[in-house]
A = this chain, B = another copy of it.
Amino acid sequence: MSLLVTGSIGIDTVETPFGKRDDVLGGSAIYFSYAASFFTPVRLVGVVGEDAPASAFDVFKGRDVDTSGLEVRKGSKTFRWHGSFVKDMNEAVTVEVDLNVLAERAPAIPPRFVDSKYVFLANTHPALQQQMLASLSAPKLVVADTMNLWITTERPELAKLLKQIHGLVLNDGEARLLTEKKNLIDAGRAVLAMGPKFVVIKKGEHGSLLFTGDEVFTLPAYPTEKVVDPTGAGDSFAGGMMGYLSTQGSFSPPTIKRALAFGTVVATYTISDFSLGGLQSTSREAIDGRFAAFKNAMSF
């Protein structure tokens, strides 16, 4: 089924205890698209500046990612992020950020994408998220991400968005900020009360929580010693989750649970190398194998 993602595309410089990479491809929509493409065809909508090298998107060659919704905007510059995980692999320190084209108008959703059934609105201004959602004809499952900035500065717009989506994915700090509740179980339930049918709280190396109806589902992280670069882990998690969901007919709690487990597994490949290297080194077979190992590692 058609899975649409709109989100950031960036040129990253990343430092971790394992080294530094300059000017590598990054951004939420990029990680999401690659991760989701193990499961389903992906429609990518995003915008870069004219400084983006034409070869940047070669990573999607041979993959089922439709990049025709990619706008190369003349006179604009690509979003750039320079982050460091040298001190703490759990939290990036932003060394420098240039929003550039991300601070301008949102990219248009091409007419042939407006029938997309599965939609992931990666992190951006909640008014833009609503605008993009409004241009779709009949979405069946809409999931969004958000961040501290919008929770703090755009709460009314975010509140409106939350009433229009099926699922929200956010991290533990964002959930606490949004709900002003310290306990994550309280926080998850409070986000549910704001509108979404399900809420996923990502806890980084500590796994994730799913809230749906009265149910709380808890998932540990996949136990891995290979963490080279955490950039894109959350977006890959969302990509694996939405990719799997798009192949399913229903969104019952057991289906969403399996989707979270697939998201967790896909993210382990992302963090095992810099940029998209980890995702590029794996396959659907390897993912399925690790999914089985994950299930086994937590069954009792």
A binding-site residues for B, Cβ under 8 Å: 89, 182-183, 185-186, 189, 203, 206-207, 209, 215-225, 227, 254, 257-258, 260-261, 295, 297-300
Contacts and interface: CB of A to CB of B under 8 A. Distances in A.
Nearest to A217: B297
Copies of this chain present in the complex amount to: 2
B220 A220 contact: yes
- Of A216, A224, A258, the most chain B CB neighbours within 10 A belong to A216
A176 to B, nearest CB: 13
A182 to B, nearest CB: 8
Contacts of A215: 297
- Of A182, A258, A298, the most chain B CB neighbours within 10 A belong to A298
Contact of A227 (B183, B209, B298): B183
B186 A209 contact: no
Given A209-B223, A223-B185, A225-B185, A300 B258 contact: yes
A66 to B, nearest CB: 30
A185 B205 CA distance: 11
Contacts of A258: 300
A217 B222 CA distance: 9
Nearest to A294: B218
A203 to B, nearest CB: 7
A6 to B, nearest CB: 28
B223 A220 contact: no
Contacts of A217: 223, 297-298, 300
Contact of A185 (B186, B218, B224, B295): B224
A216 B297 contact: yes
Given A217-B297, A220-B219, A221-B218, A206 B207 contact: yes
A235 B248 CA distance: 43
Nearest to A258: B300
Nearest to A227: B183
Contacts of A225: 183, 185-186, 189
Given A225-B183, A225-B186, A298 B206 contact: no
A221 B206 CA distance: 10
26 contacts: A183-B225, A185-B224, A186-B225, A189-B225, A206-B206, A206-B207, A207-B218, A207-B220, A217-B223, A217-B298, A217-B300, A218-B220, A218-B221, A218-B223, A218-B297, A218-B298, A219-B220, A219-B298, A219-B300, A220-B220, A220-B298, A254-B300, A257-B300, A260-B300, A261-B300, A295-B300
